[in-house]
Amino acid sequence: MDRKPNLLQRLRTMKGWKGVISVLRIAEALDVLLVVLLIFANTVSRYVFKTSFVWIEEILTICALWMYFIGAVLGAEEESHIKGDLVSSSIRRPGVKKWFLAAVALVTAVSATFFAVWAVQYCATQLKLHMLTAYLKLPKITSQFAIGFGMVGMAFYWIYHFLRYLTAKPFEDKGAHDGKDGDEKEAEG
């Protein structure tokens, strides 16, 4: 039996794919650090110096939305979203499990694509309105673009996972739900 990974499985090991994921992880880490620092600064200013920096709330909104949606894209890439997985864990036949996981990925991909189209339309509308934040007068699209980015990223990765499940051989689906192909699991074990 040939256990050579197909093109879709090899994509995850390519430098470009790993590079994008690394950039997203670094952006997420920096964003989380910035949020923590801003909340700390706002807390100290409010309770120690009895003053408040109004502008921090606007920056926090922007950072929080980017943090949530970059995290959502990373979760979609590694299939680590919270899910109820009672059915697929009870399926013992590899062929049946493969098709079940492909169907779940298809429903998720279709849903994510629907919301991605909606999010892109929303961003396009907001861009035309040229709305600004109340205090710093920053373009509101800086936070709203995170929604479009996140939804498009999630749709991309769920379409990828659907195609990966669809083209996987039944024995390869053992580790697909945790973002690892059968060959990667064997290398670990």
In this predicted model, what pLDDT tens digit does every residue of 50-81 receive, in sequence order?
888 888 989 999 999 999 999 999 999 998 87
Q: Is the CB of residue 100 less than 8 Å from the CB of residue 88?
A: yes
pLDDT for the residue numbered 183: 43
The pLDDT of residue 83 is above 60: yes
The band of 11, judged by pLDDT with boundaries at 50, 70 and 90, is confident
Q: Can you give the pTM of this predicted structure?
A: 0.80
The band of 132, judged by pLDDT with boundaries at 50, 70 and 90, is confident
Helices marked H in the chain: 7-11, 15-47, 54-78, 86-90, 94-129, 141-167, 182-188
**DSSP character for 179?**
T
Q: Exposed/middle/buried for 176, CB within 10 Å: 0-12, 13-18, 19+?
A: buried
How many CB atoms lie under 10 A from the CB of residue 153?
A: 21
